Each structure stands twice: as structure tokens, then as C-alpha cells.
Amino acid sequence: MAKQWQGVISEYIDRLDIDKNTPIITLGEGGTPLVHAPALAKLVGAQDVWLKVEGMNPTGSFKDRGMTMAVTKAVAHGAKAVICASTGNTSASAAAYAAKAGIKSVVLIPEGKITLGKLAQAIAHKAVILQVRGNFDDCLVLARDLSENYAVHLVNSVNPDRLEGQKTASFEVFDYLGFAPDYHVMPVGNAGNYSAYFKGYKELQRDGFISTLPKQLGFQAAGSAPFVAGHPIANPETIATAIRIGNPASWDLAINAREESNGEFDSVTDEEILSMHRYLSNEIGVFVEPSSATGAAGLLKFAKAGKVPSDAKIVITVTGHGLKDVGWALKDENGEEVKPTSCSKDASEVADLLGLEKN
Ligand code: F0G
């Protein structure tokens, strides 16, 4: 019988900071595909490009890797409720894992700024949802405040259990390829994921599996790019709502990761994000939410600037599933709504419509 993937805690228990007897709360997260993308490699002039498709996690984003650890540990510590601030994916994940654990979840979201798909997930998993009149950064301040003063456990990535779980993505990349890529590219919001990948690669290096760390390239949306500005942004704006964050929680960890990995932060415009979002689904067959295309969009920007070596092996993490934010996919490149053509049930009429030749 085929072995089913057991979730990141069971699969990597020896490399995670967790007591082996702790009851694990899992939905089978991790083990996501690394999709080889030769067409994208050609587009950016690199030797090889793979997409780490994190939308294949149980709730459709990479957050599940960290959430299994955070909720497992919260329950082990006796928590009866978890809380998070979120641009949508963390809340979907927290709500699902809390439902599995049989505890309450409270999610704080910026009013009007999360996608319907993500809101539906939080509702489906019966989270208590509060829309805060403010942005994500305000939500996080509020979540931290409540968790410090009331009986509710914080599961944002400022909780180290989250990064501990998310580092398993680096292990999977190495386990699959048998080497570490020259570059690892991803979108950056709070920079928790960027910091978690670095943690994973550092441990692989410490344990003698790899000698050189991948250069980590982190990309932000131009209207929401505090790492590029070098300071927090008061009013971040971008269509990439998942990464609409002005004051990243993992600032110091991320700066250290960039320095030690010899990496870079840069930004891309909303137009570049949407164009890459379309390219990935049209040409590669991978449907991601717009925010998740930010890394690949950044790599293309680097390629145009002559910054991608022709012998480079590159992994790009695409962080969340396209079904979470379908609005952009339903429009063409001119912003017009795409409507399927209506047709009769007659084969010859339909063949005419399709321009099919008779055999
Ligand atoms: N991509 C997606 C789809 C995300 O949802 C997020 C973060 C990121 C990238 C950036 O990751 O914050 O670790 O740098 N979403 C958070 C949330 C903030 O609440 O769902 P990061």
C-alpha cells in the first residue's frame, strides 16, 4: 500500500523543537510538489527553475506548516483558544487547525481587505471573525496585546513555533533535489517565511548536508515595500492583499537572513505581479493567488536587469492557491471580464464555433 505523507511534524520530528510524545494536530500539511518549469527558466535565462507549490497545502497556503506546530504546542500548553491577525491565509489556517484541535479561534482581519475565498475559509472553520478598522499592522498590535493580557494563545509568526514548522519547506526542497538551489525566491510580507527558509537551510548547512546557503531573494509589492525603503511604511497599498504589510514582524530575522545568505530585497509593481500571475497559470499550469506571483515577478525583473546567471538553479516558492482570489483570473489582460461563449448542443455548430477541421 502506498505510504501517505504524515504531515510535517511526523515527517521531520527529529529535526523539530517538539517533545516526541506531544499529541500532534495535523491536516497532512507539507510534502508539496516542486514543479520543474523549463519555460520559466528560459524566460529568465536560468539553467533550471522549480516552483514550490505551497497552494497544495490543506488550506491552500504555506501557513499550514507553521500552524500545525503552533496549534499542536498551544494545545499541549492547555490553550483553549488561539488568536491571530491576518491578511487572510493565516486566519484560514488557524481556523482549520483550531477546528481539528477542538478549540476556539479568533481572527482579526483588516476591514474590507481580505479576499472572499479566505474569508469563506475562516467562516467555514467557525472562527470568531473581527474586522478591525485598520490595516494588518494594527491587527497584529491588537492580537499581541490581547494574547499578552488575556487567556488566548497567539499563532502569528512572531510565535517561534510557526517559523519552526515553516522551515520544513527547505528540508523538502533539499530532499527532493538532493542539493540546495543557488537562489531561493519568494514574496515577502511579514518576512516570517523568508526567515523560516533561512532557518531550514542554516540547519541543513550545520548538519553537513549543504555547503553553501541559497541566496534568498525576497520581493515586496511596490506600494508596500518597507524592506526596500529601509523603514516601516505607514499606509501600505497593493492589490496583493496577502502582503499588504507595512511593518514586518520578523524585521531583524529577515535582515540577518538577507545578509548571511547574500540575498536581496526588491519590489515589483502591481502590474508586474498581475502579469506574472497570468503567465504562471497560462504557461506553466500553476494557478496561484496574485500575491504568490510576486517572487517570480521579481525574478523576471532581475533577469531583465541582467542579474540572473545562466547556470543558476532557482527555486521559487509560490505561497498560496489561485482559488483563494479568483477575481483577477476572471479578467483578461485589459481588465475586461472574461465570459464563456454560450453555444447550442449541436456538434457541427460547435465544431464551427471552435474552428475544428473535419477528419
Ligand atoms: N504569500 C501569501 C499568499 C501570504 O498569505 C503571505 C502572508 C505571504 C506571501 C508573505 O509571507 O508574511 O511570512 O512574509 N500572509 C500573512 C497572513 C500575513 O496573514 O496570511 P510572510
121, 239, 243, 321: which to mutate for ligand 1, most atoms within 8 A of CB? 243
Q: Please name the amino acid found at residue 355.
A: G
Of 217, 215, 223, 219, the closest CA to residue 294 belongs to 219
pLDDT for residue 316 = 99
pLDDT for residue 225 = 98
Q: What does the buried/exposed string (b/e) look like for 332-347 if buried means 16 or more CB atoms within 10 Å of the residue's CB?
A: eeeeeeeeeeeeeeee
pLDDT for residue 109 = 98
pLDDT for residue 353 = 96
* Residues in contact with ligand 1 (CB, 6 Å cut-off): 61, 63, 86-90, 157, 187-194, 242-243, 289, 291-292, 319-320
- Protein residue with least CA distance to atom 6, ligand 1: 242
Cell 546567471 sits on residue? 309
Along the 359 residues of the chain, how does pLDDT read in single tens digits? 789 999 999 999 999 999 999 999 999 999 999 999 999 999 999 999 999 999 999 999 999 999 999 999 999 999 999 999 999 999 999 999 999 999 999 999 999 999 999 999 999 999 999 999 999 999 999 999 999 999 999 999 999 999 999 999 999 999 999 999 999 999 999 999 999 999 999 999 999 999 999 999 999 999 999 999 999 999 999 999 999 999 999 999 999 999 999 999 999 999 999 999 999 999 999 999 999 999 999 999 999 999 999 999 999 999 999 999 999 999 998 999 999 999 999 999 999 999 999 99
pLDDT for residue 2 = 80
pLDDT for residue 1 = 72
pLDDT for residue 26 = 98
Q: Spell out the residues 6+ positions from residue 172 whose beta carbon is closer than 8 angstroms to its own.
A: 30, 31, 32, 34, 52
Side by side, the strands of the sheet bearing 48-53 are: 34-36, 48-53, 313-318, 183-187, 215-221, 264-268
pLDDT for residue 10 = 98
